[in-house]
Chain A
Amino acid sequence: MSATLDRTVGAGLDRVEGREKVAGEAKYAYEYDVDGVAYALGVASTVARGEVRGLNADEVLQLPGVLAVLWHGNAPKLHEVESPELKLFQSPRVAYRNQWVAAVVADTFEAAQEAERALRIDYAVEEHHVVLREDDPGLYTPPKVNPGFPSDTHEGDFDTAFAAAPVSVDRTYRTPTEHNNPMEPHATLAVWDGDGGLTLYDSNQGVGPVRETVAKAFGLDPSKVRVVAPHVGGGFGSKGEPRLNVVLAVMAAQAVGRPTKLAVTRQQMFSVTGYRTPTIQRLQLGAERDGTLTAIAHDVIEQSSTLEEFAEQTAVVTRMLYAAPNRRTTHLLTQLDVPTPSWMRAPGECPGSFALESAMDELARELDLDPIELRIRNEPELDPESGNRFSSRNVVACLREGAERFGWRAAPRRDGRVLVGSGVAVSTYPARRMASEAIARAEPDGSFVVRIAAADIGTGSRTALTQIAADTLEVAPERVTLEIGDTRFPPAMIAGGSMGLASWGSAVVKACKQLHARLGDGVPPDGLECSAGTEDEIEAHQREPLARHAFGAQFVEVRVDVDTGEVRISRATGVFACGRIINPKTARSQFLGGMTMGISMALLEESRVDEQFGDYANHDLAGYHVAVNADIPAIDIAWIDEDDPHLNPMGTKGIGEIGIVGTAAAVANAVFDATGVRVRDLPITPAKLVEGLIPISAQR
């Protein structure tokens, strides 16, 4: 780790783009001012499976302001499209309800909306299957789970060990379909220039994949496609890969010969921008009477679409969290007439930890053992399934520090007509990085510019990278400008997998170090530039036999209304061990954001499958509840600094996703502590509790 990183790094700088954001000056994709822009809207299918036979395009084209109606009957053939989800209008097939099967383009937004409503589409309808069931005959083992782990792992002899275990837990946990719902809907503004070049103002977690996808789909030289995304209104995984809005904006702009923009409507965010698969998880734990685990099994059932295979790595967390010699993790997938699931904050770890950390709590109850002590007793020396050393692992320190800060463990109590209880869970997320490139430039006036096609989707990465660059260059951060979010800048990893800062920072440090070494010779009038890429060292790094993960522990106190089953969080504590923290102000916000989303997941979020129509019945923000301000009480965040030399030049572990991991289990464990009712399917709603409580009306 660089010895120069000890000045600005570690300081809680205000976000460098703060003024733009609070003043309403930061531009998001839909907001760039382009003359003559046309408005496009995707049109959603009203069948879940079947074929488009025709539509009343001629009639709709007569409506005032309508410029084009696009569908498979008249759309240009796309060249090369890897993802079947993006094969827009290339076939009459309908693979899920609300898949885009047509589009309208008009002079104004209002005209486009009315054209969309006037469009009548004729379908051949087929029977659809949209509900995930344990007894689905179509369940199969996928070749791998996201992003490339084996689907199944086996160690020792689980069945025998489990049968012989003196104490055991065998439970099924369920998480529902969840939607990312960033505040900014996906949006693209496509501008063709006269020379066959294309500029896209787009909302994404990385400009590189958008350019690559568009170039291939439309047969363009990538150097003629520019993607711009300096400000992005959240993503949480749904903007990691380009979506239909990108393809449609380009196609529509081409069709009408004008710059064209479109935003996915909030209702459409429930069908064409990805989501987290529902899961059915069987968790089995076998232990000795002292709590030592002898057998762990985590068997997952989840879904994908008929278009593409995406298998969330739900059981992968169980492969590294606790020691036990006899283990099994499996994933079974079925392909339903639903949209393709994809990444949503902490894929794998998030739903998987709900099951694992709830099961551990149930085991602790069986053993009459403190749940923290149970975890300490099963802390592995080495990564249980790979046998590798952990580069650093501070689960126990987080549990102990958190227990003290939280005041663990007050006995469950009654406060008037409210039951109060507390719960704990462990958090974890892998710490990885991918290759990226950066350019560091010194200007003759003493300022510096660093350019990298990184992304700041609210993570504070622009600010953290500024600090990293400043320290490496040994200058004050005010002299450094960090430019990101443009394919004109050196290619970089997307903001995803909590890999952003580790990936970008590595390249930025390398480029800045090289530049710093040359500054002694003075900066010429046209400036001085150094570029660097990290492909080689990261490839070598990935081959090292080390397990790199971030860890944490979360504590939650709940208040349950004994008469109605309403659950409210009264306070929470999260303690994390994530290497070195670059900016304590923005890091705290990331941990808070993750835990807030975890509380939302525990108590509120579910996209309810409508079996009759094949879509999600509650497909808007009134029906799909995300946490509002009143749901979130004081949350105490702390971290344990780790000096881990095996990570990257900054010594950081990604922190964007770990906050959501474990929260839902901590809440469920707290609800059990308060009420004696164990809820194993999320969200924990009054309907699920009210029957198990003893309300006023039952008292004498």
Chain B
Amino acid sequence: MREFAYARAADESGALAELDGGATFLAGGTNLVDLMKLGVETPARLIDIRRLPGSIDETDGGGLRIGASVPNSVVAAEPRVRERYPFVAQALLSGASGQLRNLATTGGNLLQRTRCVYFMDVTKPCNKREPGSGCPAREGEHANLAILGWSEACVATHPSDFAVPLAALEAQVHVQGANGARVVALTDLHRLPEDDPSRDTVLEPGELVTAVELPPLAFARRSGYRKVRERASFSFAVVSVAAALDLDGGTVREARLALGGVAHKPWRCRAAEDALRGAPATAESFVRAADAELAAARPLRDNGHKVPIARNAITTLLLELAERP
């Protein structure tokens, strides 16, 4: 690890004031410290924001505002999250391990970086780490990488489970910068790689995530998260699905759907949602909706299996949600 200076921030404005050219925020460290050991991240200075005050508060209409420093395990265990947004709790609980969830924070989870093996290996080229050096994953090890939204410059996926139901919920990310505060929709937070995969998010240098707001959504009580993976636990998704269904008898009034493990960002399935709106809550509708979304899929040589798995996971999850009393 490169040597670094360390300072602990007492509050948000203090954290921002500490920032300079070579500084990076440290929260739980479960991704950053890993990357620093690998030499992928080499900050000259760490500003520790792990113990900034963070809480889970009510918002108008029954939503929740989650402080960025709240650990993943605490969010997952929070009764209001479990009751109102079960798929958020499920997504968190399916991720990592108990130990990692205790340190990882709300903000850190969203900002974690891809686990593409080339990104994580400084002895190999990677356009995300070193723009212009190439993307070995395009023809190399990519069985668990993107089928949607990728570019010739980068085929990486975003590894977060938590971000997937947040995308479905249209969560709002509160950001603080030197120039003031702004709110970014979760679905806008993460970028597609396009020509510049070096930037994972739309955050500017010097911006700090302060909270994530879950909008009130009554039908989010009928939600679920399905994570398909080779190992029964402690493993990233092959494909994951977050879904919430608003039913009117046997008809879908509205649906929220997002996929994980398929793209550089959590993939909000708007084409599928359009197809579901007003459709009968049957397997046939669900398959049709999945196909509408996956029509845009462009699998790589070795990850074609993600397409049928995604189709089937979407269908079975929606069926299971529809069958709940």
Q: Which residues of A contact B (CB under 8 A)?
A: 46, 110, 113-114, 117, 417, 563-566, 568, 603-604, 608, 610-613, 617-618, 622-623, 625, 627-631, 683, 685-687, 690-691, 695-697, 699
Contacts and interface: CB of A to CB of B under 8 A. Distances in A.
Interface in B285-312: 287, 290, 305, 308-309, 311-312
B229 A697 contact: no
A695 B305 CA distance: 13
B39 interface: yes
Given A610-B141, A613-B124, A696 B312 contact: yes
Given A686-B309, A690-B308, A625 B117 contact: no
B141 A566 contact: no
Contact of B312 (A113, A564, A568, A622): A564
B115 interface: yes
B2 A610 contact: no
Contacts of A608: 141, 143
Given A46-B123, A610-B140, A613-B136, A604 B230 contact: yes
B238 interface: yes
A625 B315 contact: no
B233 A695 contact: no
B233 A629 contact: yes
B5 to A, nearest CB: 15
A563 B310 CA distance: 9
B121 to A, nearest CB: 9
A697 B1 contact: no
Contacts of B136: 612-613
B312 A628 contact: no
A295 to B, nearest CB: 37
A667 to B, nearest CB: 14
Interface string B232-245: 11111010000000
B316 interface: yes
A695 B287 CA distance: 11
Nearest to A633: B232
Contacts of B312: 563-564, 690, 695-697
A564 B232 contact: no
A113 B1 contact: yes
Which 8 residue pairs spanning A and B have beta carbons closest together?
A563-B312, A617-B141, A687-B305, A630-B233, A630-B232, A695-B312, A46-B123, A697-B287
Given A563-B313, A631-B232, 8 more contacts: A566-B230, A613-B136, A613-B140, A617-B141, A623-B117, A625-B230, A629-B233, A630-B232
Contact of A612 (B37, B115, B140, B316): B140
A468 to B, nearest CB: 39
B283 interface: yes
A618 B141 contact: yes
A114 B42 CA distance: 11
B309 A696 contact: no
A699 B124 contact: no
Contacts of B39: 117
A696 B315 contact: yes
Contact of A565 (B117, B140, B309): B309
B228 interface: yes
B175 interface: no
Interface in B189-210: none
Contacts of A110: 1
Contacts of B290: 697
Interface string B100-131: 00000000000000010100001110000000
Nearest to A111: B3
Contacts of A695: 308, 311-312, 315
A696 B140 contact: no
B217 interface: no
Nearest to B233: A630
A691 B308 contact: yes
A234 B2 CA distance: 32
B74 interface: no
Interface of B: 1-3, 37, 39, 115, 117, 122-124, 136, 139-141, 143, 228-236, 238, 283, 287, 290, 305, 308-309, 311-313, 315-316, 319
Given A690-B305, A691-B308, A564 B313 contact: yes
Contacts of A114: 1-3
A566 to B, nearest CB: 6
Contact of A563 (B115, B236, B315): B315
A617 to B, nearest CB: 4
Nearest to B306: A687
B140 A686 contact: no
12 contacts: A113-B1, A563-B316, A564-B228, A564-B238, A566-B229, A608-B143, A628-B235, A631-B233, A686-B305, A690-B305, A695-B308, A696-B319
A618 B228 CA distance: 19
A697 B293 CA distance: 14
B308 A628 contact: no
Nearest to A564: B228
Nearest to A683: B230
Contacts of A113: 1, 37
A610 B116 CA distance: 13
Contacts of B143: 608, 687
B295 to A, nearest CB: 14
Contacts of B140: 610-613, 617
B303 to A, nearest CB: 8
A414 to B, nearest CB: 14
A568 B122 CA distance: 35
Which of B1, B3, B232, B238 has the most C-beta atoms of chain A within 10 angstroms of its own C-beta?
B232
B301 to A, nearest CB: 12
Contacts of B287: 696-697
Contacts of B122: 117
Nearest to A631: B232
B284 to A, nearest CB: 8
A597 to B, nearest CB: 14
A604 to B, nearest CB: 6
Nearest to B228: A564
A625 B305 contact: no
Contact of B231 (A417, A604, A690): A604
A110 B37 CA distance: 10
A442 to B, nearest CB: 49
A678 B53 CA distance: 55
Contacts of A612: 136, 139-140
Contact of B238 (A622, A623, A686): A686
A246 B154 CA distance: 41
B231 A631 contact: yes
Contacts of A691: 305, 308
B33 to A, nearest CB: 13
Contacts of A610: 140-141
Contacts of B228: 564, 566, 686
Contacts of A699: 283
A569 to B, nearest CB: 9
B158 to A, nearest CB: 16
Nearest to A113: B1
Contacts of B236: 622
Contacts of B229: 566
Contact of B117 (A46, A617, A628, A685): A617
A625 B231 contact: yes
Nearest to B143: A687
A685 B308 CA distance: 14
A645 B315 CA distance: 62
A613 B139 CA distance: 12
Nearest to B283: A696
Given A113-B37, A117-B39, A610-B141, A697 B233 contact: no
A113 B319 CA distance: 52
Nearest to B312: A563
Contacts of A564: 228, 238, 309, 312-313
A610 B123 CA distance: 14
Contacts of A697: 283, 287, 290, 308, 311-312, 315
A245 B136 CA distance: 31
